[in-house]
Amino acid sequence: MTLTDFQNGQLILIDKPLEWTSFQVVNKVRWLIKKQFGIKKIKVGHAGTLDPLATGLLILCTGKFTKRIETYQAQQKEYTGTFTLGATTPSYDLETEINQEFDISEITQQEILDATQQFIGKIKQKPPVFSALKKDGKRLYEYARSGEEVEVPSREVEISAFDISEIKLPEIKFRVVCSKGTYIRSLAHDFGKALNNGAYLSELRRTKIGDYDVENAMSIEEFEKKLKD
């Protein structure tokens, strides 16, 4: 690919590594392009944040394609991952320590399978307080980390598929297809509540955005090699 290609607009599918922020991936790709072509500036943006503890598909847009970011962000997403039953955390995932534990000995496989049904379709969901959403000009996680109480309004999201692929308690493996703005961490938390129990998200991978599949995505190392070829 030439510099002109990147300036006119390229779509780069990256398989985000664990513990990287989406912003770090954008910065790294931008730096690699600038270094390769000896330039000082190139526009690069991502179409939909993935939490540091998640892996999977991140769509990056360069040059003129950055104007299309919202189009990709609005598309349906598919995720796979693991809920851990029997405990909750304040962040609804592994970012924070367990704050409550529950007995799971009475929960049946059928109850777990049945519980998915109440989340299919349009539902009201509260985003996690440990999220990058803004309230009064401040990110929610800033309130949470400083111990401030903050009311997070619920919003409508749509879940078109919620499948349980394996149950090995306390772990439940799942696949979810959902609209923009759906928090899988919140789904984990609410799923625990639906079972009169607790749950948190222990693993997450984004596998699709619209028609784009993580199987066609590159690692950052593969992108760097491709640039040099």
* pTM of the predicted protein model: 0.93
> Average pLDDT for residues 154-169, to the nearest whole number?
97
Say which residues have a Cβ less than 8 Å from residue 218's Cβ, sequence separation at least 6: 12, 13, 14, 15, 226
pLDDT of 143 over the 70 cut = no
**What gap in Å lies between CA 101 and CA 96, rounded to an integer?**
14
So which residues are the catalytic ones? 51
- Domain match, 56 and 99 both: no
Cβ pair 128, 189 in contact under 8 A: yes
pLDDT at 228: 87
- Domain match, 34 and 116 both: no
- Domain match, 177 and 83 both: yes
pLDDT of 74 over the 90 cut = yes
Range of the domain at 24: 3-74+211-228
- Domain match, 122 and 221 both: no
Overall number of domains in the chain:
2
